Amino acid sequence: MRTIQTLVAVLLLSMVLVPGGASAQDVPEEPTFANHIAPILYESCVNCHRPGQIAPMSLMTYQEARPWARSIKNKVETRAMPPWHLDRRIGVQEFLNDPSLTDAQIATIAKWVDNGAPQGNPADTPAPPEFAPADAWQIGEPDLVVQFPTYTVPAAGPDLFGNLFTEFGLEEDRYITAIQTRPVGDRARQVVHHALSYAVEEDENGESMGGGTFLVEYASGKQAEVYPEGSGLRLPADSQARLSYHLHSVGEDIDAVVELGINFLPVGAEPEHIRYSKQLGGSQGQTIGVLDIPSGEVARSDGYARFNKAARITMFQPHMHMLGTYQCIEFIYPTQPVRAETVNCAGFDYNWHMNYNYAEDTTPLIPAGTILHVSSWLDNSASNRGNVDPSNWAGDGQRTIDEMAFAWIGWYDLTDEEYEAEVAARQQQRADNDN
Report, in Å, the least distance between residue 41 CB and ligand HEC.
6
Q: Does 55 participate in binding ligand HEC (rule CB under 6 A)?
A: yes
Cβ–Cβ < 8 Å for 289, 419? no
Binding letters toward ligand HEC, positions 30-49, x by CB under 6 A: --------------xx-xxx
Torsion sign across C-alpha atoms 387, 388, 394, 396: negative
Q: Does 117 participate in binding ligand HEC (rule CB under 6 A)?
A: no
DSSP secondary structure letters along 256-309: E-EEEEEEEPPTT---SEEEEEEEE--GGGSSS----B-TT-EEEEEEEEE-SS
Report, in Å, the least distance between residue 211 CB and ligand HEC.
27
Burial (CB count within 10 angstroms: exposed 0-12, middle 13-18, buried 19+), residue 275: buried
Q: Which region, judged by CB under 6 A, interacts with ligand HEC, from 76-84, 259-267, 287-295, 384-392? A: 76-84
Q: Which region, judged by CB under 6 A, interacts with ligand HEC, from 77-85, 177-185, 358-366, 371-379? A: 77-85
Helix (H) or strand (E) segment spanning residue 328: strand 324-333
**Contact residue for ligand HEC among 8, 15, 22, 54 (CB under 6 A):** 54
Report, in Å, the least distance between residue 351 CB and ligand HEC.
6
Backbone φ and ψ of 44, nearest 5°: -120, -10
Q: Does 56 participate in binding ligand HEC (rule CB under 6 A)?
A: yes
Q: Does 86 participate in binding ligand HEC (rule CB under 6 A)?
A: no
Report, in Å, the least distance between residue 342 CB and ligand HEC.
26
Report, in Å, the least distance between residue 132 CB and ligand HEC.
16
Q: Does 220 participate in binding ligand HEC (rule CB under 6 A)?
A: yes
**Beta-carbon neighbour count of residue 157 at 10 Å?**
10
Closer to ligand HEC by Cβ: residue 76 or 328: 76
Q: Which region, judged by CB under 6 A, interacts with ligand HEC, from 74-82, 180-188, 321-329, 413-421? A: 74-82
Q: CA 180, 309, 202: angle at the middle one, nearest 5?
A: 50
CA-CA distance, 352 to 348, in Å (whole number)?
Answer: 8
Helix (H) or strand (E) segment spanning residue 165: strand 160-167
Q: Roughly what angle, to the nearest 10 degrees, separates helices 416-434 and 2-13?
A: 50
In the complex, the residues that contact ligand HEC under the rule CB under 6 A are: 44-45, 47-49, 54-56, 68, 71-72, 75-76, 81-83, 99, 101, 220-221
